[in-house]
Amino acid sequence: MTMKWALLSVWNKEGIVDLARELHRHRLQLLSSGGTGAALKEASIPFTEVSAYTGSSEMMDGRVKTLHPRIHGGLLGRRGIDDGVMREEGIHQIDLLVANLYPFEEMANKGLPLGELVEYIDIGGPAMIRAAAKNHKDVAVVTDPSDYPLVKEALESGGFTADQRLLFAKRAFARTAAYDAAISNYLHLLGSEFPGVYTVQFRNGRTLRYGENPHQRGAVYGQAGVAGSEPLQGKQMSYNNYLDLSSAAGLVREFSEPAAVIVKHNNPCGVAVGKNLADAYIQARDVDPVSAYGSVVALNREVDRHLAEDIASTFVEVVAAPEYTRNALQVFGKKENLRVLHLPAAERGWELRSIDGGLLVQDTPPYQERWEVVTDRDATPAEMKAMKFACIVCAHTRSNAIVFADATRTLGIGAGQMSRVDAAKIAIEKSRFSLAGSAVASDAFLPFPDTLEVAAAAGATALVQPGGSIRDKEVIEAANRLDVAMVFTGVRHFRH
């Protein structure tokens, strides 16, 4: 399709002058206005001012400039159907629209007063984009500077294909939908902790081989964080791989020292810190080597060849780390199915979970645990360090959760049990190490002394829990009787 007219109206001027120069070189007539027109004028690129074309001057400080029948008629006019009307009204067929929008999202994050912020709500831009996208059979609409190379390719090949125009239309409607969602969410959030209407959009959708199980279908959406991650090598990530990696990444980011986290079925099965990353990984793997088979491993330092060889010596599904040496990647390359990823930076924001018929939304504002020793015996420095380590892991383990640990590694993990005392028994049964002198963490308060009694019988000498049970006094008395140092934090860490 030969193009004759292009309308350029962008807030983000990145690449627009070079694109306009190419459009002019291919003999397209250019329409533009405002800041875009000023950029073209400065670059000595011929164009027709929108106001001159429409016969209507910009008004109301630029609020009204492209909202005109000669603009929208050129975008919406159907070739072969509306040609007569367009000739009568002196409307040119606009074949290409290049437009992006006022930066509402960016300005909303700057805390502007509402009266100032509303001036960054674009009206003419979305109207033109939607019009062109609706008429994508005849009009190409480009909303992202990263797509300008595709425009240049189309110019060289004689015009856009129908598939390209449809692709641009999809992107255009996605952009206006996200833009309107940002405005709606902002306005609905005014005076509220959560918006009464909440609209979300995730891009970069990729179909997975299947969902949690082979008879289920699955996909992943997202451009950042774990959701946006793709393997450097190995098989395609699965639905369950993404779930496990998200859990592992969240936990390993809690540590500043070299740390290794091994996750299986969305629960940590081994966590350790060490003087170096290899030491941390070996300690974490040895906590539960049976469960580590077929696991997801997250690390918070660069992986070298020696560590890669240790990891590759057992069956691992996924490895994620900030960096890898070239030799490490060569070692992993011998394991064709092993998925190796860069550990992404954390993506901050609300936590979203789907439920039947809707969505749960959760926010975790900054909070401060208030650690208070409530027993007669104070915790030793070593016990305190072990409790802090156990508490971090416990917060990333499915409830009900009980974690035994020393100062550098988990010793036993009981996860996802209906009974807290059963979680403690499972953690003890799974432990491959002596629990004498260990510390224990519970994600929620102990409703009875039984969990503490089971832990003490296994050798634990310190226990940390939120406190807040109506039987706290009984639990404290049991701790004193058993010479267990106990700390209340005041913060529960359920993870359902």
What pLDDT sits at residue 59? 67
Tell me which residue of 159, 185, 44, 165 sits closest to 105, measured CA to CA: 185
**Per-residue confidence (pLDDT) for residue 108, from 0 to 100:** 92
Determine which one of 13, 265, 342, 385 is catalytic. 265
pTM: 0.89
Alpha-carbon span 67 to 64, nearest angstrom: 6
User: Is residue 429 within 8 Å of 458, Cβ to Cβ?
Assistant: no
The answer to whether 17 and 43 have CB atoms below 8 angstroms apart is: yes
Confidence at residue 83, expressed as pLDDT on a 0 to 100 scale: 86
134 classed as catalytic: yes
All domains of the chain in start order, with CATH = 5-189 (3.40.50.1380), 226-342 (3.40.140.20), 372-488 (3.40.140.20)
271, burial (CB in 10 Å: exposed 0-12, middle 13-18, buried 19+)? buried
Residue tagged active-site, from 13, 134, 235, 385: 134
pLDDT of residue 2: 63
**Paired strand residues for 6:** 30, 96
* Residue 401: CA count within 13 A, CB half-sphere: 28
Q: Which residues contact 216 (CB under 8 A, 6 or more apart)?
A: 210, 239
pLDDT by residue for the chain (496 residues), tens digit each?
567 999 999 999 999 999 999 999 999 999 998 889 999 999 999 999 888 888 777 767 767 777 788 899 999 999 889 889 989 888 999 999 999 999 999 999 998 899 999 999 999 899 999 999 999 999 999 999 999 999 999 998 888 999 999 999 999 999 999 999 999 999 999 989 999 999 999 999 999 999 999 999 999 999 999 999 999 999 999 999 999 999 999 999 999 999 999 999 999 999 999 999 999 999 999 999 999 999 999 999 999 999 999 999 999 999 999 999 999 999 999 999 999 999 999 988 899 999 999 999 999 988 889 999 999 999 999 999 999 999 999 999 999 999 999 999 999 999 999 999 999 999 999 999 999 999 999 999 999 999 999 999 999 999 999 999 999 999 999 999 999 999 999 999 999 9
68 is catalytic: no
Secondary structure (3-state) at 255: coil
